Amino acid sequence: MAKNKDLKKEDNLSEVESALTKSEQFIEDNQKILSIIVGVAVVIVAGFLGFTKLYVQPKEKAAQEQMFMAEQYFEKDSFNLAINGDGNNPGFLDIIDDYSVTPAGKLASYYVGISYMHLGQYEEALDYLNSFSTDDLVLAPVLEGAKGDCYAELNKPKEALSAYKKAYAEKNEFTTPVYLMKAGQLMESQGEFEDALEVYNEIKKEYPTSTEARAIDKYIARVDMQLKK
């Protein structure tokens, strides 16, 4: 029995040695190609780091400075000035054109989208909102919720509901009840009463201190009546 175990160990060692030999032989046979691949990878990484440090970071600082007035106009609901500038200071569209590679330039697309939405230009708003993405836990649901609002205004309930569901998928106390309510109202308007009841109950149970929860019993009762017909 011990002899069989020893033979098995020898076979395993032999297989390992064979594999190592093949690997060494492969490296030796392809040394030139492998060296080129490693060299190209190093150049790419170095180039990316250099591009980020020497080009993107300075551009980002300039973009933030340039878009200051546009942000001020946005905060004051002066959306046309925010989008197009005032003649002396650039608007968000200028920031997008001049600083598209920077985080600020990308964020400008979000601002333009929201501005167009407030101006009632929903198709234009969606063009810019759909071109922007973020992992920010608060901004991401607001972005999807804004898309939902635009689709709702364009009488596209299916797309609107899909956006609202994405908006409330990431749970937080600030935005989730807002988009649950919008989704529930849209479901109700489309005759999807069971789904509406489900989201209304979620507001009541999970977000009882929210503004949306204050009148939620009225919505629940209304949907209940529809389901009992």
Q: Is residue 72 domain-shared with residue 117, that is, in the same domain?
A: yes
Q: Is residue 177 domain-shared with residue 111, that is, in the same domain?
A: no
pLDDT at 96 over 60: yes
8 A C-beta contact, residue 146 and residue 114? yes
- Domain final residue pick, 117, 133, 149: 133
* Confidence label for 13 from pLDDT (cuts 50, 70 and 90): very low
Residue 5 lies in a domain: no
Using CA atoms, how far apart are residues 17 and 128, in angstroms rounded to an integer?
Answer: 59
- Domain final residue pick, 98, 133, 168: 133
8 A C-beta contact, residue 63 and residue 101? no
Using CA atoms, how far apart are residues 181 and 206, in angstroms rounded to an integer?
Answer: 13
Q: Is residue 129 domain-shared with residue 158, that is, in the same domain?
A: no
Q: Is residue 127 domain-shared with residue 180, that is, in the same domain?
A: no
Q: Provide the 8-state DSSP code for 154.
A: T
Q: What is the pTM of this model?
A: 0.75
Q: What are the CA-CA distances from residue 151 to residues 9, 94, 184, 210 (Å)? A: 68, 26, 15, 25
Q: Exposure string (b/e) for 162-200, b if CB count within 10 Å is 16 or more?
A: bbbebbbeeeeeebbbbbbbbbbbbbbeeebbebbbebb
Q: Is residue 142 domain-shared with residue 92, that is, in the same domain?
A: no
Residue 19 lies in a domain: yes
CATH label of the domain that carries residue 178: 1.25.40.10
Query: Where in the sequence is the domain holding 143, given as residue range(s)?
Result: 136-229
Residue partners of 137: CB distance under 8 A and separation at least 6: 170, 172
Summarised one tens digit per residue, pLDDT across range 175-208 is 999 999 999 999 999 999 999 999 999 999 999 9
CATH label of the domain that carries residue 117: 1.25.40
Summarised one tens digit per residue, pLDDT across range 53-67 is 434 466 678 778 889
Using CA atoms, how far apart are residues 229 and 214, in angstroms rounded to an integer?
Answer: 26
pLDDT given at position 102: 87
Phi-psi bin for 81: left (phi > 0), alpha (psi -120 to 50), beta? alpha
8 A C-beta contact, residue 173 and residue 207? yes
